[in-house]
A and B are shown apart, each in its own frame.
Chain A
Amino acid sequence: MTAFQVELDHISMTYQSPSEETEAISDVSLGLTQGEFVSIVGPSGCGKSTLLDIICGLVKPTRGSVRLQRPAGYMLQRDYLLEWRTIRQNCLLGPELQKHNMKEARTYVDHLLETYGLAEFADHYPRQLSGGMRQRAALIRTLALKPDVLLLDEPFSALDYQTRLAVVDEVWTILRKENKTVILVTHDIAEAISMSDRVVVLSARPARVKVIYQVRLSTAGLPLQRRQDENFRKYFDAIWKELDIYVSLG
């Protein structure tokens, strides 16, 4: 049990506020090995973001502990590129805040921008970029600190459907190429299956691990191609059922 790169050990979280007490997470344990891609799906408001906040160290769990070798990189729902900084300056934010050697950091960031097709936009401001490019820039900003583990909180939900499919392939390719360990939170079941090695289904609040699916598709390749796999539907239906989504009319 030591081979895990990220290990959540019986995590529980209860928020206190003047009006009430909210139990967000109840006894979640999970381990990820190096290079693994795990998606987390669960009903709205069940505590998914809270879980990532805890792994990142932004929120201290009420009970339990997180084991990580190095701080994880966090990518949020929107890109939050700072409008007054150029793309390169945005990508250098992490190293700058942590007072790293800026010359090395810059070389690395320029290399990433070059590799992932943003080199010519390095000196542009965020508003000059399309949604997909902005999200790629946000990913490079996260990668600039060379984290082993990446936490992605619905990173594609601000994109329109067409862009989203393309960006999912792009981001997935980048993360595979950099051999990162990834935890992705998403509402999109198809996205979760197509990108991941495992899909964790959480219960309604307080979040508990309901079931974990090991995704075994025979189709190798990009997420978009994996959606065509014959077994894809099977996983989709199973997870849909687990999530217990009721569509109420009226």
Chain B
Amino acid sequence: MSASAKPSLERKTYLQKMRIHRVVVLLTQLMILIAFLLIWELAANARFIDPFITSQPSRVLAAIIRLHQDGSLYLHVWVTIVETFWGFILGTGGGFLCAVLLWWSRFLHEISEPYLVVLNALPKVALGPLLIVWLGNGSAPIIGMALLISIIVTIISLVSGFQDVDPDKIKLLLSFGATRLQIFTKVVLPSSLPTLISTLKVSVGLSLVGVIMGEFLVSKAGLGYLIVYGSQVFKLDLVMLSIIILAAMAAIIYFGVSFVEKKLLRWQK
């Protein structure tokens, strides 16, 4: 409705101003990043800081090139991505199924409440050694850690999202003779879509946290492994490199979820 025939002069100046504003924000953000890298590099060169323990951008770049040439960069990144993927799928998928079950049965929900509260507060990393004993020292305990760390939060926030649905909307469906399954698929699920997506955002991040924690405890490859290894042999270039790649992964995940959000919530605007 805003895109009427001819925008007024005021509208044009306003839009112009907004464009300039966006560009200024973006440029400033970029400058901060560049300034940070530059200061880091120069300070290390001038020995204001010790590059042996802080590393420096040029060394990180060199390390990346080295790992790229021997191919191990992709091995570590790939291992972490695959573990995060499975941790996320199992944690979020399992959490979703549990949440549906708890919405379906008030009885089950009542029963499980204290367990959920305690499990939620428990630091999952404490279970790491148990996972290693039970699941061995391959990828399984790492995926298990990612699952554990995301599933409880997923269950709790999804159940409360499901239960937040306006009871009068449910009453409307009941007046049409809807079954419980229909109430779930036609009203509860679509109205919880915003909750679902914000849960997704949290749990995908938590899966990555779980994977790195798991790799700290037990692993032969992955970015978490690279961080631990790098710090043990005092190759801080490796540590910094892994952290930078993790930041890039987090950014990609964030934009991925935002993209899905835009697609799914078109009706909201």
- In the complex, chain A residues whose CB is within 8 Å of the CB of B176: 93-94, 97-98, 145
Residues in A with CB closer than 8 Å to B182 are 97
Chain B positions near chain A (C-beta within 8 angstroms): 166, 168-169, 171-178, 182, 186-187, 190-191, 193, 267-269
A76 to B177, CA, bound (A): 15
A76 touches B186 (CB 8 A): no
Interchain residue pairs with CB less than 8 A apart (29) = A58-B174, A71-B177, A76-B168, A76-B172, A77-B168, A78-B168, A80-B166, A80-B168, A80-B169, A82-B169, A82-B186, A82-B187, A82-B190, A82-B191, A83-B267, A83-B268, A84-B190, A84-B193, A84-B267, A93-B176, A93-B186, A97-B176, A97-B178, A97-B182, A98-B176, A98-B177, A125-B267, A127-B269, A145-B176
Could you tell me if A56 and B175 are in contact, using CB atoms closer than 8 angstroms? yes
Q: How far is the CB of A65 from chain B (nearest CB, A)?
A: 19
Of the four ranges (under 10, 10 to 19, 20 to 34, 35 or more), the interface on chain A belongs to 20 to 34
Q: Give the complex CA separation of A76 and B173 in angstroms.
A: 11
Nearest-CB distance from B82 to chain A (Å)?
34
Q: Tell me the chain A residues, 73-88 only, with Cβ under 8 Å from chain B.
A: 73-74, 76-78, 80, 82-84
The answer to whether B190 touches A74 (Cβ under 8 A) is no
Residue of A nearest to B190 (CB): A84
Q: Are B171 and A76 in contact (CB under 8 A)?
A: yes
Say how far B211's CB is from chain A's closest CB, in angstroms.
34
**Chain A neighbourhood of B173, CB < 8 A:** 93, 97
Nearest A-chain residue to B267, judged by Cβ: A84
Q: 3 tightest CB-CB pairs across the interface, nearest first?
A: A74-B175, A84-B267, A94-B176
- Within the complex, the shortest CB–CB distance from B195 to chain A, in Å, comes to 14
